Amino acid sequence: MKEKVADFDSLLSPLEGDVLKILWPDKKMLVREIHTKLKSKVALSSVAVILDRLYDKQIVAREVETARGGARYIYYPTQDKNAFEKSVIDKTVNQLIKAFGPNAVSYFNERFRKR
């Protein structure tokens, strides 16, 4: 049970959520630009780590730009906010059913019946 509950932590951390809110909708931004816009005071390298994690999760994509004697990533979301929320809900529901089986299914049935 403990292992199954821990799966939910893998969805999004608060900082990942903040970064995505800045990138939506369909913005293409540099790490430094996102860092400037973030309200919480985190190091630039932390923002770079967050974006790399989001890239590994395929929530954002990136391109390499070499210009002005340097190189950087331009990040952009792979889905719009609605599509992303739907995929999160879908994943969450699947995880609940996997963790709690029939109890989860009957809970959803009751809940939707009341609506």
Could you list the residues that contact another protein (CB under 8 A)? 31-32, 43-46, 48-49, 51-52, 55, 64, 66, 69-73
Best CA proximity match to 6, nearest among 101, 73, 99: 99
Best CA proximity match to 51, nearest among 65, 68, 25, 72: 72
Alpha helices in the chain (DSSP H): 2-6, 14-23, 31-37, 44-56, 81-100, 102-114
Q: How far is the CB of 6 from another protein (least distance, A)?
A: 24
AA identity, residue 6: A
CB closer to another protein out of 55 and 100: 55
Q: Which residues lie closer than 8 Å to 18 by C-beta, 6 or more apart?
A: 38, 39, 40
Q: How far is the CB of 51 from another protein (least distance, A)?
A: 7
CB closer to another protein out of 7 and 65: 65
Q: How far is the CB of 89 from another protein (least distance, A)?
A: 28
CB closer to another protein out of 4 and 32: 32
Q: How far is the CB of 78 from another protein (least distance, A)?
A: 16
